[in-house]
Amino acid sequence: LFAGPVDFVKGVVAMEGLPPPDRAEVCFAGRSNVGKSSLINALTGRKNIARASNTPGRTQEINYFTLGDDHYLVDLPGYGFAEAPVAVVAKWQRLLKAYLAGRQTLRRAFVLIDTRHGIKAVDEEILTLLDRSAVTFQVVMTKADKVKAADREKVLAQVRAALQKHPAAYPEIVLTSSEKGDGIETLRAIVAGIG
Ligand code: GDP
């Protein structure tokens, strides 16, 4: 599906470090522990490719991967961790805002939401930032295997309702389980179709 290599490219800590904007890119965001690394591994078919971005020191970087020759996959640091020093958080937020507002080749953000939890206040912050940056975002529900079908519907209803107030939200929600493989092919096709 992705013609060409899937590889880790680099971790970026400042706008000057971004790779040349020579292809479409999509970014992945989500609170820590939402299942982002697992999803990126499943999506790329590379077992530990996203581990780099979870190692200490890498956590405040924008991590670039190639998805074949035509796309970059951008892994944004997990949010919602209160432990980071204020100055570190402030520096990261400046970079994130600059990236979202200024990256011409960024086509869509995928925001990961745990199917057990739905959209929380910390998620709302990033959704609002995406609205303000005019970056279209699509919600990807993770760990769907952990929730019974009836409860999934309740969470999906909550998410749909929450998305009503976000102009940048893409209406289709993707339900995934990296563990079972559900929704992975769908998500792969969505990303591959983004030009
Ligand atoms: P990250 O911090 O967002 O990168 O989250 P990880 O990918 O490291 O996942 C956090 C935890 O959730 C790990 O223990 C994973 O094994 C687990 N996990 C991730 N995805 C799934 C899933 O689809 N189903 C289940 N049951 N567990 C998952």
Q: Which residue has the higher pLDDT, 52 or 46?
A: 46
- According to the model, what pLDDT value does residue 52 have? 56
Provide the CATH number for the domain around residue 68. 3.40.50.300
Ligand 1: which atom is nearest the Cα of residue 50? 4
| Cα angle, residue 32 at apex, residues 30 and 38 outer, rounded to 5° | 75
φ, ψ at 30 (rounded to 5°): 175, 160
Residue 1 lies in a domain: no
Residue 118 lies in a domain: yes
pLDDT at 25 over 60: yes
Q: Could you tell me where the DSSP H helices lie in the chain?
A: 36-44, 86-102, 121-133, 149-163, 184-192
Q: How many domains does the chain have?
A: 1
Using alpha carbons, select from 71, 108, 79, 118 the residue that is nearest to residue 95: 79
Residue 169 lies in a domain: yes
Residues touching ligand 1 (Cβ under 6 Å) are 30, 32-38, 54, 78, 142-143, 145-146, 177-179
What is the model's pTM? 0.95
Sheet holding 174-175, edge to edge: 6-12, 62-67, 71-75, 24-30, 106-114, 137-142, 174-175
Give pLDDT tens digits for 163-191: 999 999 999 999 999 999 999 999 999 99
pLDDT at 58 over 70: no
- According to the model, what pLDDT value does residue 90 have? 87
Distance CA 95, CA 80 (A): 17
Percent of all residues in the chain with a pLDDT value above 90, rounded to a whole number: 79
Residue 145 lies in a domain: yes
Residue 59 CA to ligand 1 centre (angstroms): 16
For a mutational test of ligand 1's pocket, the pick from 38, 61, 147, i.e. the residue with the most ligand atoms closer than 8 A to its C-beta, is 38
Distance CA 53, CA 60 (A): 9
Residue 149 lies in a domain: yes
Place of tokens 């591994």: 41
- Residue 41 token pair: 């591994």
Local confidence band at 42 (pLDDT 50, 70, 90 cut-offs): very high
Domain extent for 83: 6-192
For a mutational test of ligand 1's pocket, the pick from 27, 32, 33, 123, i.e. the residue with the most ligand atoms closer than 8 A to its C-beta, is 33
Distance CA 195, CA 193 (A): 6
- According to the model, what pLDDT value does residue 55 have? 61
Ligand 1: which atom is nearest the Cα of residue 144? 23
Give pLDDT tens digits for 112-148: 999 999 999 999 999 999 999 999 999 999 999 999 9
Give pLDDT tens digits for 82-108: 677 888 888 888 999 999 999 999 999
Ligand 1: which atom is nearest the Cα of residue 31? 3
Distance CA 181, CA 131 (A): 30
Distance CA 49, CA 146 (A): 24
Residue 177 CA to ligand 1 centre (angstroms): 9
| Bridge partners (DSSP) listed for residue 23 | none
Interface predicted TM-score of the whole assembly (ipTM), two decimals: 0.99
Place of tokens 């769908």: 186
Q: Give yes or no for a contact between 89 and 26, defined as CB atoms under 8 angstroms apart.
A: no
Local confidence band at 49 (pLDDT 50, 70, 90 cut-offs): confident
Segment 51-75 shows an average pLDDT of: 81
Residue 43 lies in a domain: yes
Residue 52 lies in a domain: yes
- The DSSP 8-state label assigned to residue 77 in this structure reads P
